[in-house]
Amino acid sequence: MKLTTTTLIPLLASLISTSTAIDLTVGNVDSVCDAATDIIKGIMDYYEGDRYGGTVGMFQQPYYWWEAGLVFGGMIDTWKICNNYTYVSTIQNAINHQRGDYNDFNKVQNQSDVEANDDQVFWGFTVMEAAERNFPSYSNNSDDPNYAQLALNVYNSMAPRWDNETCGGGLRWQILKNMSGWNYKSEIANAGVFALGARIARYSNNSELVLSSNRILRWMKESSFITQPDGENYYNVYDGSNIVNDSCPVINGAIWSYNYALMTMGTSYLYSATGNDYWSNELDKFLSGIEHYFINPNSTDILYEYQCSVWGTCNNDQRAFRAIVANSLGNVAQLVPEYKDRVLKIINASAKGAAASCSGGSDGVTCGKDWSTGSWDGLYGLGEQISALEIIQNTVITDLELPCTDKSCGVEFDNSTYVTIPIPTTTIYLTNTNTVTETSYVTVSSDSNIFYTA
Ligand SMILES: *[C@@H]1O[C@H](CO)[C@@H](O)[C@H](O)[C@H]1NC(C)=O
Ligand SMILES: *[C@@H]1O[C@H](CO)[C@@H](O)[C@H](O)[C@H]1NC(C)=O
Ligand SMILES: *[C@@H]1O[C@H](CO)[C@@H](O)[C@H](O)[C@H]1NC(C)=O
Ligand SMILES: *[C@@H]1O[C@H](CO)[C@@H](O)[C@H](O)[C@H]1NC(C)=O
Ligand SMILES: *[C@@H]1O[C@H](CO)[C@@H](O)[C@H](O)[C@H]1NC(C)=O
Ligand SMILES: *[C@@H]1O[C@H](CO)[C@@H](O)[C@H](O)[C@H]1NC(C)=O
Ligand SMILES: *[C@@H]1O[C@H](CO)[C@@H](O)[C@H](O)[C@H]1NC(C)=O
Ligand SMILES: *[C@@H]1O[C@H](CO)[C@@H](O)[C@H](O)[C@H]1NC(C)=O
Ligand SMILES: *[C@@H]1O[C@H](CO)[C@@H](O)[C@H](O)[C@H]1NC(C)=O
Ligand SMILES: *[C@@H]1O[C@H](CO)[C@@H](O)[C@H](O)[C@H]1NC(C)=O
């Protein structure tokens, strides 16, 4: 993702029509799939892969490569929920064309000069979704890796970027040294490895990967990327920190929903993988954070983007973040029974609001940004479409069987080659957002010193 800020562009009045809206009965599969048909039609209006001269797997500008991965991941769930094969080959072709020469979505043609860790990991989630939903293979060539192997390749490409030479650990935002975010340790890059590792841990029942994800979480806390305010049950999940003199002294306190979403995703998978209350307790604090920050105060239980929505400053990337939140709340609903009603309350209310917002444009079913007004707010784009699709289809997510594992899916999965985040062997630089001038040090040499080994 990039640092551009694009303000919201209102749709021209001439395009406004008074025709139909999306009529949704939440929790009803037929109604959800009817809505999905309308919304995906809107999504495909932006798809360039089936246009003359267009690139397979890409949406038109200004939508970046990562968002394409996000959209196809959502459409994999639509396929499963609706048992509708219309877009199966579109999704297969997109994955096949974008998986890169090394089958790890790294150094992908046309992206290699700009690709960052967060971009890569969103395609990792796409293929993990395909693995967990048993999506039809993109290739009949037995030399081509299966979806789970592609996801593991993404993980194995990213985890070695853990950089314990600065800030006591963490991935940098960028992959390339010459990009401006190289000097930034970003929460999203680390939350991405955390969550993808968690999903692979559950998929392959790999306890080493559970520990590895836990080390990432502990590092986030020790370096104040994640803090718990005194007397509160929620976490603040901050955006990251510039590297200054090899440490991360000043946290960028921006609160973005996609960071919460990936931590929610990861902790719910780790709970499912281990059955350990440690993980449901962690999840509780991320969920509490979503409830604290991302519910529109003008509504009951309707999601919005806290950091930019009110000011109308959400850029194209940020306008898709609620899709990631919706997806992760669906993970909770499926994997953590004790929090199912808690997240479905948000999903249900937001889905109703989103459906009501899908009443704009010349087709009369173009989705808007504000889900709290009961109508279309004049804003539109790929982010609005995929966010509406995800929140609406997640009202029926618990009808699906659980995400499968290599065993339950009957898939061959080589679990012998995976990279783990190293146990810290050195001094960790502790910093604190509220007292940036105070730093302290702790020397650790094993998991048990600083990391829970749960
Ligand atoms: C969400 O909506 C479904 C379908 O109407 C309903 O069965 C379920 O009880 C709702 N859940 C919550 C927590 O509101
Ligand atoms: C399957 O999806 C396509 C495209 O979204 C839609 O036109 C079609 O009506 C759907 N089929 C069924 C049986 O719902
Ligand atoms: C890179 O761009 C070229 C030219 O537009 C296109 O033909 C090719 O398919 C693209 N490669 C990928 C992996 O998208
Ligand atoms: C950054 O480095 C990569 C790989 O070394 C190179 O391909 C790319 O052109 C460079 N980008 C800029 C903006 O200098
Ligand atoms: C693989 O082969 C099956 C059976 O011939 C066919 O239905 C399917 O479309 C093929 N898949 C791909 C991705 O080519
Ligand atoms: C970084 O981790 C590696 C692998 O565990 C270890 O050998 C090295 O000493 C660590 N370096 C620092 C500065 O902590
Ligand atoms: C997962 O691994 C543990 C040992 O680490 C084992 O006890 C358990 O039976 C395994 N679960 C499955 C579903 O294979
Ligand atoms: C890898 O899979 C094999 C066979 O299922 C299992 O015995 C082994 O414990 C697994 N290894 C790890 C590290 O999960
Ligand atoms: C970084 O280190 C240099 C050299 O030791 C020092 O002059 C500078 O003030 C330090 N910067 C910060 C922000 O601490
Ligand atoms: C809540 O509604 C008021 C009045 O319409 C509006 O000014 C404000 O921006 C809304 N807040 C949000 C978060 O939508």
Q: For residue 1, tell me if it sits in a domain.
A: no
Query: How many structural domains compose the chain?
Result: 1
Instruction: Indicate which atom in ligand 10 lies nearest the CA of residue 309.
Output: 13
Pocket lining: 109 vs ligand 3, CB cutoff 6 Å: yes
Whether 388 is in a domain gets the answer: yes
Residue ID of nearest Cα to ligand 2 atom 8: 37
* 194 within a domain of the structure (yes/no): yes
Q: Which of 161, 162, 164 to mutate to test the pocket of ligand 6 (most atoms within 8 A of CB)?
A: 164
Quick one: pLDDT at residue 5?
Answer: 40
Question: 110, 113, 115, 119: which to mutate for ligand 3, most atoms within 8 A of CB?
Answer: 110
* pLDDT at residue number 239: 95
> Counting every residue, how long is the chain?
454
pLDDT at residue 3, as a whole number: 57
What CATH code is carried by the domain that includes residue 85?
1.50.10.20
Distance CA 397, CA 336 (A): 13
Residue 422 CA, closest ligand 6 atom number:
5
Distance 433 CA to ligand 6 centre (A): 25
- For residue 372, the ligand 10 atom closest to its alpha carbon is 14
Q: Extract the tokens encoding 183.
A: 């000097």
For ligand 9, atom 4, the nearest C-alpha belongs to: 245
- Cα 414 to ligand 8 centroid, rounded to whole Å: 9
Q: Which ligand is nearest the CA of 249, by number?
A: 9
**Residue 450 domain-assigned (yes or no):** no
Residue 71 falls within a domain, yes or no?
A: yes
Domain of residue 19: give its range: 13-444
For residue 166, being part of any structural domain is answered with yes
Ligand 2 atom nearest the C-alpha of 40 is 5
120/116 Cα distance (integer angstroms): 6
Any domain includes 454? no
211 belongs to a structural domain: yes
Ligand 1 near 27 CB (within 6 A) = yes
Of 332, 353, 202, give the one whose Cα is nearest residue 260: 332
Q: Report yes or no: 95 and 130 within 8 Å, Cβ to Cβ.
A: yes
Nearest-atom number in ligand 8 for the CA of 406 is 5
pLDDT at res. 448: 39
Nearest to 67 by CA among 392, 396, 397, 385: 385
Rounded mean pLDDT for each run of 10 residues along the chain, 454 residues in total: 48 47 95 98 97 97 98 98 98 98 97 96 98 98 96 97 92 95 97 98 95 92 90 96 87 94 98 96 98 97 95 95 98 98 98 98 96 97 98 98 96 84 61 41 42 30
